Structure 1
Amino acid sequence: MKEIIQEGKTVEDALDKALEKLSTTKDKVEVEVLDEGNKGFLGLLGSKDAKIKVIKKDDKHKKALKFMTKIIDKMNLGIDVEKIESETNHEQVVINLTGPNLGIVIGRRGKTLDALQYLTNLAVNKHHDDDHLRVIVDAEGYRERRKGTLQDLALRLASKAKAKGKKVVLEPMPPHERRIIHSTLQEDPKVRTHSEGQDPYRKVIIVAQ
């Protein structure tokens, strides 16, 4: 059990009950107050219990940070590692790298960063249980910049395909980058996209309609 809705006479009372049910402590949960409740007149008439949502923090988040920190420290590049928690998606965590020499950990077109991300996900989810945590490894906003570059590339090559009436074959890309190409062009009725080949050589094909 990782998340429960709990009621109590007060928020504190509800939290105590939730912690007991989750077999954990206050520092290991996130609490959202859904209703602060109402004591009512003289503590009797019109009283209403407090209601909270309690989410148990996953140790996998800490494991992801520890694993990446260990790798980066061994590289001795003076790079800092920080964990960015999502307030809305508890099944995902971003490990952000900051500092000098980021080009080394990013690699050509993000290949080294992708490899670090793959290894971290493998280490964190190696037991293949139901609580899968998606780990995204970023480097000072590189992922967003790369996404913009791929979107521009998709639009440019789609225009080329339409102008020449021929298909355009992109270079091999990892799955998440191919998805960016597909999603960028999915609303364009004048082209269609599909992928061919086997990873890691799978490519996106843009075809004029």
Structure 2
Amino acid sequence: MTTVIVTGKTIEDAVDQGLAKLGVSRDLVTLNVLEQPSRGFLGLIGVKPAKVELTLKPKQAEESFQNEPDSALIRTSELTSSSSTELDTNISNDVDPYVEASNFVKEAAAGMGLDVEIEIKKSRDGKIFNITGEDLGLIIGRRGQTLDALQYLTNIVANKHSSSFVRIILDAENFRLRRRKTLEELADRLASQVVRTGKEVVLEPMPSQERKVIHAKLQNHRQVNTISKGEEPNRRVVITLK
């Protein structure tokens, strides 16, 4: 298999799914965005998912068939020996996607009547844009919904100006860390409820990154399991007894 077409709530989600199917890292494929997900103001998600096509680069495709002629799979040993590449290796020489993304965030904040600054840091998952300023609650929104929507749009802007896939995480007032702790405490509390009552618990719809926090927190729990059910944007975590 050298090409896959996948859909997801966002382009990022679709790309992650495609990479998982191919069993390769981002630098080993070419990306073609077939359909943008529908959205409203500040990224309110509609019903149309993102659709992307991922194709193994020629050298990788050739190695794939040579090494696995029957299944056309890339061996794990080949992947680990591949040279690692930064997410932003192929940034255009003319336009810096991070500058464009930063300008977009500042313009969006200005539209809310806010004057903000952005500190850019590297992380394992991409680049973190730490937003500083006053009245950042407006940018964060209820349970981070506005921040998530702005992050979604910011990534679209950045990737329009990059020849390779880049990922940006928006944060403000350490909201991401605080939200993670809140979700982990919620996971523990609901797991105890499931054990006590013997009844499964269905959480409210959450974005994929928040569902991952719940799954990760309870993955080693001795008495409960977690699964995700439903379609985006109404996909939910369900906690059940083992």
TM-score band, normalised by the shorter chain? 0.5 to 0.7
Runs of 4+ in 1 over 6 A off after TM superposition: none
Equivalent residue letter for 2:130: N
Query: Is residue 2:109 matched to residue 1:72?
Result: yes
Kindly indicate whether the alpha-carbon contact (under 8 Å) linking 2:154 and 2:168 is maintained by their aligned counterparts in 1.
yes
Kindly indicate whether the alpha-carbon contact (under 8 Å) linking 1:65 and 1:83 is maintained by their aligned counterparts in 2.
no
CA offset at residue 149 of structure 1? Answer: 0.1
Equivalent residue letter for 1:92: G
CA offset at residue 81 of structure 1? Answer: 2.3
Q: What is the number of equivalent residue pairs in this alignment?
A: 154
Which residue matches 1:85?
121
Equivalent residue letter for 2:109: I
Query: Is residue 2:202 matched to residue 1:202?
Result: no
**C-alpha separation in 2, matches of 1:161 and 1:128:** 46
Which residue matches 2:198?
165
Normalising by structure 1, report the TM-score: 0.67
Query: Is residue 2:216 matched to residue 1:179?
Result: no
**C-alpha separation in 2, matches of 1:119 and 1:200:** 16
Which residue matches 1:108?
142
**C-alpha separation in 2, matches of 1:92 and 1:156:** 31
**C-alpha separation in 2, matches of 1:94 and 1:60:** 13
**C-alpha separation in 2, matches of 1:57 and 1:76:** 35
CA offset at residue 56 of structure 1? Answer: 6.7
Kindly indicate whether the alpha-carbon contact (under 8 Å) linking 1:83 and 1:93 is maintained by their aligned counterparts in 2.
no
CA offset at residue 181 of structure 1? Answer: 0.3
Equivalent residue letter for 1:83: E
Which residue matches 2:131?
97
**C-alpha separation in 2, matches of 1:143 and 1:85:** 14
CA RMSD of aligned residues (A): 2.5
**Counterpart of 1:188 in 2: which secondary structure?**
coil
Kindly indicate whether the alpha-carbon contact (under 8 Å) linking 2:120 and 2:127 is maintained by their aligned counterparts in 1.
yes
Normalising by structure 2, report the TM-score: 0.58
**Could you tell which deviates more after superposition, 195-204 or 66-75?**
66-75
Kindly indicate whether the alpha-carbon contact (under 8 Å) linking 1:84 and 1:96 is maintained by their aligned counterparts in 2.
yes
Who wins on radius of gyration, i.e. which is larger?
Answer: 1
Query: Is residue 2:188 matched to residue 1:155?
Result: yes
User: Which structure 2 residue ranges, 5 or more long, are not aligned?
Assistant: 1-87
**Counterpart of 2:182 in 1: which secondary structure?**
helix
User: Which structure 1 residue ranges, 5 or more long, are not aligned?
Assistant: 1-54
Kindly indicate whether the alpha-carbon contact (under 8 Å) linking 1:169 and 1:204 is maintained by their aligned counterparts in 2.
yes
CA offset at residue 160 of structure 1? Answer: 0.4
Which residue matches 1:122?
156
Kindly indicate whether the alpha-carbon contact (under 8 Å) linking 2:101 and 2:154 is maintained by their aligned counterparts in 1.
yes
Equivalent residue letter for 2:106: T
**Counterpart of 2:165 in 1: which secondary structure?**
coil
